[in-house]
């Protein structure tokens, strides 16, 4: 097992072991946010027939040449085509057909005159504007033809995709499965949020922040609860997560926390690939993978992330390593947070050796992004994490980032990228 590796080495090791999950078939109405696993080919033509783009009259262009406000052309309205109806009569010479938007164009007609470009008296229609051939007619198949590949693998299913799939009458589509993430924590000092915190006990908050980090990207958290400080209880909890795709432990059940955790993992068949990443917060991160689990159906067992126990260390190591792995499993091609270059609002200092992820607030000043620390950067202080719009990357070898210089920031808060003006 390697130890003391760089964040870059850790990430590469993890992604090399991370599979893209197999497809499943889901109902279109449940597919929002999922990633398409195969092409969607249309079995329909959209629109199904030439139809009117306007409320107006279907006419023969040959009849209406020279029509103008001072020289109207008079036609007879022979029939009406309802929007949902079929056009079973023809438009003959000198005739017009009333059409609403979306109504099929009857045979014989080759243009639509807008209602506002006509005058009607009984069934006598005065056309005040000569239409060009094909004007205000939407062609059959303008959007989609039978056999078209309308959506490609890798597409994230959003509102327009759902509208299109509804139009095509599709009931199901193939998408990548969502990873199931088993979450556990451990230690006799931990209680659930409604538990008694007398005598130095603290809430097992990591499980809640980690579950939320999973849900945020569409992974499916399964919380296995708090293991007590015995090898038996720790083993029982890990066993309960062996059918998950990913096992995330923190606080008391990480490799660094209790001597026996590593023994339990090895007994269960976990091969640890590294322990210890040169970063702060979050040095004591472990990663491994289980071999094939009897009866699980999978080719290999879950990936295992042993996150540090401190609340911010757990969140940041999830952010940097578990999140990209889960996004890969889900089928995303872009695995990482948006990056912005930001000017430092203050000078930051540290010792050389570890990469620091600095919790920063972000502001825009004169069109540039300015980053400032959100306060106490101790790995126990969640409060400065709640205020962080981003994580600033303070490289391992650097010892000072001077105020006014630039650094790269991973943007955590999507509202920082949202705009305060519409753009028009």
Nearest-approach distance from CB 284 to its own copies, in angstroms: 9
Binding status of residue 399 toward its own copies by CB under 8 A: no
The interface region with its own copies, picked from 61-69, 72-80, 172-180, 192-200 by CB under 8 A, is 192-200
- The DSSP annotation for 212-250 comes to HHHHHTT-EEEEEEEEPSSHHHHHHHHHHTTTSSEEEEE
Distance CA(24)–CA(174), nearest Å, equals 5
Q: Which is nearer to its own copies, 300 or 376 (CB)?
A: 376
Nearest-approach distance from CB 113 to its own copies, in angstroms: 17
The interface region with its own copies, picked from 60-68, 260-268, 294-302, 410-418 by CB under 8 A, is 410-418
Footprint of its own copies on residues 70-99 (CB under 8 A)? 82-87
Binding status of residue 421 toward its own copies by CB under 8 A: yes
Footprint of its own copies on residues 140-169 (CB under 8 A)? 142-144, 150-151, 155-156, 158-169
Distance CA(64)–CA(130), nearest Å, equals 6
Q: Which is nearer to its own copies, 63 or 262 (CB)?
A: 262
Residue of 333, 352, 365, 397 interacting with its own copies (CB under 8 A): 333
Return the DSSP state at 274: E
Nearest-approach distance from CB 8 to its own copies, in angstroms: 6
Nearest-approach distance from CB 27 to its own copies, in angstroms: 11
Q: Which is nearer to its own copies, 78 or 411 (CB)?
A: 411
Residue of 221, 281, 324, 361 interacting with its own copies (CB under 8 A): 324
Binding status of residue 22 toward its own copies by CB under 8 A: no
- The bridge status of strand 246-250 relative to strand 190-191 is unpaired
Residue of 193, 263, 291, 404 interacting with its own copies (CB under 8 A): 193
Q: Is 121 left (phi over 0), alpha (psi -120 to 50) or beta?
A: beta
Q: Is 351 left (phi over 0), alpha (psi -120 to 50) or beta?
A: beta
Q: Is residue 128 within 8 Å of 118, Cβ to Cβ?
A: yes
- The DSSP annotation for 128-165 comes to -SPPPTTTTEEPTTSSB-TT-EEE-TT-B--HHHHHHH
Element (H, E) at 265: helix 259-267
Binding status of residue 1 toward its own copies by CB under 8 A: no
Residue 146, token pair as written in the block? 């039978």
List helix spans (H) across 22-83.
Answer: 61-64
Query: Radius of gyration (Cα) for the chain, nearest Å?
Result: 32
The interface region with its own copies, picked from 172-180, 209-217, 238-246, 292-300 by CB under 8 A, is 209-217
Measure CA of the first residue to CA of the last residue in the chain; give whole Å.
56
Footprint of its own copies on residues 348-387 (CB under 8 A)? 355, 376, 378, 380-383, 385-386
Binding status of residue 56 toward its own copies by CB under 8 A: no
Q: Which is nearer to its own copies, 230 or 300 (CB)?
A: 230
Element (H, E) at 313: helix 311-317
Q: Which is nearer to its own copies, 32 or 347 (CB)?
A: 32
Q: Which is nearer to its own copies, 12 or 239 (CB)?
A: 12
Q: Which is nearer to its own copies, 180 or 258 (CB)?
A: 258
Distance CA(158)–CA(238), nearest Å, equals 36
Q: Which is nearer to its own copies, 29 or 76 (CB)?
A: 29
Nearest-approach distance from CB 355 to its own copies, in angstroms: 6
């Amino acid at each position: 097992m390697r130890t003391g590796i760089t964040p870059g080495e850790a990430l590469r090791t993890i992604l090399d072991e991370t599979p893209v999950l197999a497809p499943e078939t889901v109902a279109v109405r449940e597919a929002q946010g999922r990633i398409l696993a195969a092409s969607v080919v249309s079995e329909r033509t959209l629109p199904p027939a030439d139809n009117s783009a306007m409320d107006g009259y279907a006419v023969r262009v040959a009849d209406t040449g020279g029509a103008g406000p001072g020289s109207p052309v008079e036609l007879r309205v022979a029939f009406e085509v309802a929007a949902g109806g079929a056009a079973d009569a023809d438009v003959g010479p000198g005739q017009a057909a009333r059409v609403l938007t979306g109504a099929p164009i009857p045979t014989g007609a080759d243009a639509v005159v807008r209602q506002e470009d006509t005058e009607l008296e009984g069934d006598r229609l005065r056309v005040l504007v000569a239409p060009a051939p094909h004007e205000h007619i939407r062609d059959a198949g303008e959007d989609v033809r039978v056999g078209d590949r309308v959506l490609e693998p890798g597409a994230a299913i959003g509102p327009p995709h759902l509208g299109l799939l509804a139009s095509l009458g599709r009931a199901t589509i193939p998408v990548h499965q969502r990873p199931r993430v088993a979450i556990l924590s451990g230690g006799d000092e931990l209680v659930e949020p409604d538990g008694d915190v007398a005598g130095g006990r603290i809430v097992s908050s990591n499980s809640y922040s980690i579950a939320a980090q999973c849900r945020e990207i569409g992974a499916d958290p399964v919380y296995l609860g708090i293991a007590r400080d015995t090898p038996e209880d720790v083993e029982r909890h890990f066993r309960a997560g062996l059918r998950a795709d990913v096992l995330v432990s923190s606080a008391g059940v990480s490799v660094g926390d209790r001597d026996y955790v590593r023994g339990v993992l090895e007994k269960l068949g976990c091969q640890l690939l590294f322990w210890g990443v040169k970063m702060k917060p979050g040095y004591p991160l472990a990663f491994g993978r289980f071999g094939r689990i009897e009866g699980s159906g999978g080719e290999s067992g879950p990936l295992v992330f042993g996150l540090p126990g401190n609340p911010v260390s757990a969140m940041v190591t999830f952010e940097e390593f578990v999140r990209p792995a889960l996004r890969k499993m889900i089928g995303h091609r872009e695995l990482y947070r948006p990056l912005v270059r930001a000017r430092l609002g203050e000078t930051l200092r540290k010792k050389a050796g570890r990469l620091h992820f600095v919790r920063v607030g972000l502001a825009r000043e004169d069109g540039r992004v300015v980053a400032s620390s959100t306060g106490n950067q101790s790995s126990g202080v969640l409060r400065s994490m709640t205020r962080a719009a981003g994580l600033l990357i303070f490289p391992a070898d650097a010892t000072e980032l001077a105020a006014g210089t630039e650094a790269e920031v991973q943007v955590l808060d999507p509202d920082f990228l949202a705009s305060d003006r519409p753009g028009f």
